[in-house]
Amino acid sequence: MAMLTIRDIEPIIKERLRVRAAEHGRSMEAEVRGILQAILAPPEPMPARNLAERIRARFAPLGGVELELPPREAMREPPHFE
């Protein structure tokens, strides 16, 4: 396994790391490993969505989009080829 040394950490950061490690019941070194693993883990693949779902997700933070659809009319008769 590789070793990593980090120098010049601000005292407040070191203290916050010490407190966080104590809250999780592990050493500061183990806490740093856990943080790095969580941050640098490969991203989970996005679920496959159809185009409508992707458009809805894109505009949801903006309040969504409501479109007025024109009323449907009766279908015309198909042409007769005689």
Domain range enclosing 21: 8-41
Residue 32 lies in a domain: yes
Q: What is the pLDDT of residues 19-74, one digit of tens each?
A: 999 999 999 999 999 999 999 998 888 777 888 888 888 888 888 777 788 888 88
Residue 3 lies in a domain: no
**Residue whose pair of structure tokens reads 């989009």 in the numeric block:** 65
Dist CA 31 CA 27 (whole Å): 6
pLDDT band at residue 8 using 50, 70 and 90 as cut-offs:
very high
Residue 28 lies in a domain: yes
Residue 12 lies in a domain: yes
pLDDT band at residue 10 using 50, 70 and 90 as cut-offs:
very high
Residue 30 lies in a domain: yes
Domains contained in the chain, number: 1
- Read off the pLDDT of each residue in 9-23 and give the average, rounded to a whole number: 95
- The secondary structure of 9-40, three-state, reads CCHHHHHHHHHHHHHCCCCHHHHHHHHHHHHH
Residue 63 lies in a domain: no
Question: If we measure between CA atoms, which residue out of 47, 41, 18, 73 comes closest to residue 9?
Answer: 18
Residue 33 lies in a domain: yes
pLDDT band at residue 82 using 50, 70 and 90 as cut-offs:
confident
